[in-house]
């Protein structure tokens, strides 16, 4: 039978030994300080065939592209261990989505990250939010003053989305005071301009950008 995320209590083995924090019980990542600013990023869907392993694997794709990592994380340890590190899964959080579902997606983000850390893989926490209501739990499980990652890909299409992203960035910087922020996707000045000088940013082009650049050559 096909396995689902519900078959084993949301993969209970992932969080064995983890501290659960906040009312939502989000797993706390380990503060190992063994992650480095990536040389480059590769999406999980290309990790198996990519010859260059001196990269970090990211999950800034549609959830269907990496859902199997959430349901069978242990099976992907050999593959992910070949790379320099991993950015924790970018499980979708949508405005208007049930709070319990958003908390579950934050949980899985940290649970997979913790399990990979426990198995010797450097992990950079991915931070994902929806609107202000998610700020109560979406920053949980991440140690302050460490490196984090965010993605603007598909998240800043409308004026309202841009405002929410900027508000979320401000809240995240205040809550976590990260040493470094990786940005996957575009970094428009109307969103990021006010934060320059507060934190070190490193931008990585999305697959959409690189594909369109190649097409335009």
Confirm whether 2 is domain-assigned.
Answer: no
Confirm whether 7 is domain-assigned.
Answer: no
CA distance 198 to 180: 10
Residue 138 CB partners (closer than 8 Å, separation 6+): 93, 102, 106, 127, 128, 129, 130
Report yes or no: 200 and 186 within 8 Å, Cβ to Cβ. Answer: no
For residue 79, give its domain range. Answer: 12-30+38-216
CATH number, residue 48: 3.20.20
Mean pLDDT by 10 residues, the chain (217 residues): 63 95 97 96 97 98 94 96 98 94 97 98 98 97 98 91 96 98 96 96 88 54
Confirm whether 196 is domain-assigned.
Answer: yes
Question: How many structural domains does the chain have?
Answer: 1
pLDDT given for residue 3 in this prediction: 63
pLDDT given for residue 100 in this prediction: 96
Confirm whether 86 is domain-assigned.
Answer: yes
pLDDT given for residue 217 in this prediction: 44
Confirm whether 150 is domain-assigned.
Answer: yes
Confirm whether 1 is domain-assigned.
Answer: no
CA distance 125 to 123: 6
| Nearest by Cα to 27 from 103, 97, 119 | 103
Residue 54 CB partners (closer than 8 Å, separation 6+): 39, 40, 83, 84
Place of tokens 């490193």: 202
Pairing state of beta strands 26-27 and 20-21?
Answer: antiparallel
Confirm whether 6 is domain-assigned.
Answer: no
Confirm whether 142 is domain-assigned.
Answer: yes
pLDDT given for residue 154 in this prediction: 84
């Amino acid at each position: 039978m096909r396995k689902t995320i519900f078959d084993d209590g949301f993969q209970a083995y992932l969080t064995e030994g983890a501290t659960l924090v906040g009312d939502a019980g989000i797993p706390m990542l380990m503060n190992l300080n063994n992650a480095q600013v990536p040389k480059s990023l590769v999406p999980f869907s290309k990790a198996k065939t990519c010859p260059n392993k001196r990269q970090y694997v990211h999950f800034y794709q549609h959830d269907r592209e990496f859902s199997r990592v959430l349901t069978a994380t242990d099976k992907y340890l050999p593959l992910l261990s070949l790379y320099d590190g991993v950015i924790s899964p970018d499980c979708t959080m949508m405005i208007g989505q049930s709070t319990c579902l958003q908390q579950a997606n934050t949980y899985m983000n940290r649970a997979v990250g913790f399990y990979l850390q426990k198995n010797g893989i450097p992990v950079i926490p991915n931070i994902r939010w929806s609107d202000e209501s998610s700020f109560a739990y979406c920053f949980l499980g991440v140690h302050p003053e460490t490196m984090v990652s965010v993605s603007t890909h598909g998240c800043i299409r409308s004026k309202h989305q841009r405002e929410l992203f900027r508000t979320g960035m401000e809240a995240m910087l205040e809550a976590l005071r990260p040493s470094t922020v990786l940005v996957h996707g575009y970094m428009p000045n109307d969103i990021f301009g006010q934060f320059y000088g507060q934190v070190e940013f490193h931008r990585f082009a999305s697959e959409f950008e690189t594909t369109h650049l190649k097409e335009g050559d």
